[in-house]
Amino acid sequence: MTFDATDAVRAHLRRVLLHNRDLKQRRLDRIAAVESAGHRIISGGRTHGAQWSLHDWRTGETIASGEHGIDEFDEVRERLDPGDAWVHIDEITFDPEPYRPIDAEGLPGDLGIVLQQWVSGTGTSSAALAAFVGWPVERVEECR
């Protein structure tokens, strides 16, 4: 069996997907550690102009919202979280390690990086990606 350019692209896309799955799992592990230490994971902030909202990241529940800017947001957050037990989801990174490109064996130049960006793009269909790499859609989606 010969290994052609299509096989090289397919193999690289699989490496990217598996790498993304590992990053996602490490972040979920960090989230679990933060929660087990007694913290609540929140999301939200300014939504439009002076409007803001604050949500429980795990449940999506709206904790508070307002229309009077960041000062109001800060005041409400301090009042609702006096013990500073809340951690914003943006503070929990996907990977604290420095970025390292995924090995692009068999691909020319920066094609590996372009493919890595394509896999992560919101416009890229999981179904199309799954069909190309030969995996079930569910497996691709758990890697994205």
Q: 95-116 pLDDT, tens per residue?
A: 767 667 788 888 987 899 899 9
Residue ranges, the chain, pLDDT below 50: none
pLDDT at position 96 is: 67
Task: Work out the angle between the directed axes of helices 111-120 and 5-36 (0-180°, nearest 10).
Answer: 50
pLDDT at position 82 is: 93
pLDDT at position 31 is: 96
pLDDT at position 8 is: 93
| Distance set, CA 61 to CA 13, 39, 44, 82 (Å) | 36, 16, 11, 19
pLDDT at position 52 is: 96
pLDDT at position 43 is: 95
**Rounded CA separation 23/143 (Å):** 9
pLDDT at position 100 is: 72
**Rounded CA separation 14/144 (Å):** 11
pTM here is 0.76
Q: Identify the three-state secondary structure at position 130.
A: helix
pLDDT at position 9 is: 96
pLDDT at position 18 is: 95
